[in-house]
Every structure is written in C-alpha cells, then in structure tokens.
C-alpha cells in the first residue's frame, strides 16, 4: 500500500492553495512544512516545463489530429526527494495543479485513482457557494 506523505494544490497562477503534510507533528513541524513547500515548487518547475513542451508540440500538429488526442492530466513521476519520496503531478484543463508525495511502495494505478478522487474533492469544494476560487483552502486538520 502507498503511504501519502503530503498533498498540495497549486492554482493556475502558481499560487499555493493547499498544503497538507501527513507526517507526525513534532518539533520540526515548521521545517517539514518548508521542506514540502520547497519540494512542491521544485516539482512545479518540472510541470511548467512539461506543459510548455506539450504546447509546442500541439502548435506543430494539425487541428484535426489535436482534437483526437485527449489531454493527459496525470503527469506521472516528477521527481524524487532527497529522503526517497516520490512526487507525482496532475494538471486540470483550467491549469490547477495537484501534487502528492508518496513514501513507500505504490502502484501507478493507485496513484492515478488517488488523483481522480483528489480532483473530485476539489470539485466538490469549488461547488460550495462560500468558497472563492483561487483562495487558500483552509485545512480542517487543526480544528
């Protein structure tokens, strides 16, 4: 089974909307948050590079062939952290970016399914009339 260490959502303007660590809180809780923040923004650079290269390829394709291709939202493994965690990414059509950091064995289908579920949770939140899209998502973990 995969062990999720951290999840994050980054807005279309590359602003961090949500970051939740699932490591045990301790004296280095702030240090962990900064480390994950750094990891997410480093992975974001890789996502931006992938998106830019995909856009360059799309410009060279004809309109007919580009309609046949479905945009892949799951970006697969982006990077590995110094403590051997794996960072995966997922991008929506509205350029909302989801990240998950995993620290053990995983199956790629489990990671894909996690992102589909994570995206659904965000969609449910976005349908809430009290949520303003683009605002930081408050964590309920500390309540």
Q: What is the pLDDT of residue 89?
A: 95
Q: What is the pLDDT of residue 88?
A: 96
Q: Give the list of residues 6+ apart from residue 19 with CB closer than 8 angstroms, or none.
A: 6, 7, 8, 33, 36, 37, 40
Query: What is the average pLDDT value for the chain, to the nearest integer?
Result: 84
Query: What pairs with residue 20 in β-bridges?
Result: 7
d(CA 99, CA 78): 9
For residue 49, the number of C-alpha atoms closer than 13 Å in the C-beta half-sphere is 8
pLDDT of residue 19 exceeding 50:
yes
pLDDT of residue 64 exceeding 60:
no
Indicate the pLDDT class of residue 142, thresholds 50, 70 and 90. Answer: very low
Name the DSSP letter for residue 80.
E
pLDDT of residue 141 exceeding 90:
no
d(CA 15, CA 1): 31
Q: pLDDT tens, 96-116?
A: 999 999 987 889 999 999 999
pLDDT of residue 43 exceeding 70:
yes
Mean pLDDT score, 131-137: 86
> Phi first, then psi: what are they for 89, rounded to 5°?
-130, 160
At 104, list the tokens: 């053990």
Q: Using an 8 Å Cβ cutoff, are 88 and 77 in contact?
A: yes
At 99, list the tokens: 């990240």
Name the DSSP letter for residue 21.
E
């Amino acid at each position: 089974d995969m062990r999720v260490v951290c999840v994050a959502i980054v807005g279309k303007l590359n602003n961090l909307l949500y970051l939740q660590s699932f490591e045990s809180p301790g004296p280095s809780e702030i240090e962990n948050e900064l480390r994950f923040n750094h990891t997410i923004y480093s992975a974001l650079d890789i996502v931006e590079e992938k998106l830019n290269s995909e856009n360059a390829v799309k410009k060279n394709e004809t309109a007919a062939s580009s309609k046949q291709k479905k945009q892949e939202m799951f970006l697969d493994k982006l990077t590995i952290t110094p403590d051997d965690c794996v960072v995966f990414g997922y991008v929506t059509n509205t350029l909302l970016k989801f990240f998950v950091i995993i620290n053990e064995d995983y199956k790629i289908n489990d990671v894909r399914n996690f992102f589909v579920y994570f995206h659904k949770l965000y969609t449910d939140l976005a349908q809430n009339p009290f949520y303003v899209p683009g605002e930081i998502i408050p964590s309920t973990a500390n309540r």
